[in-house]
Amino acid sequence: MNYPHPLLAREGWPILIGGGVAALVVTLWAGWAWASPLWLFFVFCVQFFRDPPRQIPVGEGLVVSPADGRVIVVEEVDDPWLKRRALKISVFMNVFNVHANRSPLDATVKQRWYTPGRFLNAAVAKASTENERNALWLQTPDGKDITCVQIAGLIARRILCHVDAGAVLERGGRYGFIRFGSRVDLYLPVGTEPRVTLGEKVSSGSTVLAHLV
């Protein structure tokens, strides 16, 4: 789940191969003018499915961002999964961000929940409760509980999660992918110290979102 792994995410290989072959065939049979939209789509997919290496911070209690994007929520709320008060930090991904999802900390997956739903704009608040989503209950070695939720968006309609209950994750380890624009919500124990502010741009696996105390 950590490097080495392909610079282009394996989740995108079928789309990249199909798009590249289609563009090449149309180019050979009909010329560049007809094929140009297909080549533009192929180039877009290459940038969308890029999956660069990240420098993972080292330090006790550090919670790294599970996604690239922009922080849109930092507030205390009710965790709908573990039924408790929690610090919620949400990261919104647009179509130009890297969409590989990484574990926010060293943890064991205690449970996984998948909920079908709508495909509203992932930046709006009700996306957390109405959109298609995949939630992981993560527990740290010292017993702290975190909920990490992948949420589909207006364009993103495919959540991929490669782990299930019992999996052991490392901070910054790659565990999933969301295709084409979405968000990730983190629910952290009350008392956790946030290290980011609204509107801040963050990078998966390398930006510290919070510190568990």
Q: What is the pLDDT of residues 162-208, one digit of tens each?
A: 999 999 999 999 998 887 668 899 999 999 999 999 999 999 999 99
Q: What is the pLDDT of residues 111-137, one digit of tens each?
A: 999 988 776 666 677 777 778 899 999
Sheet holding 208-211, edge to edge: 62-64, 208-211, 193-194
182 among known catalytic residues: yes
Report the CATH architecture of 62-211.
Answer: Distorted Sandwich (2.70)
User: 133 phi and psi, to 5 degrees?
Assistant: -155, 155
User: pTM for this structure?
Assistant: 0.82
Task: Give me the catalytic one of 90, 103, 128, 182.
Answer: 182
Q: What is the DSSP letter of 11?
A: G
Cβ(179)–Cβ(199) below 8 Å: no
Tokens 């507030």, residue located: 75
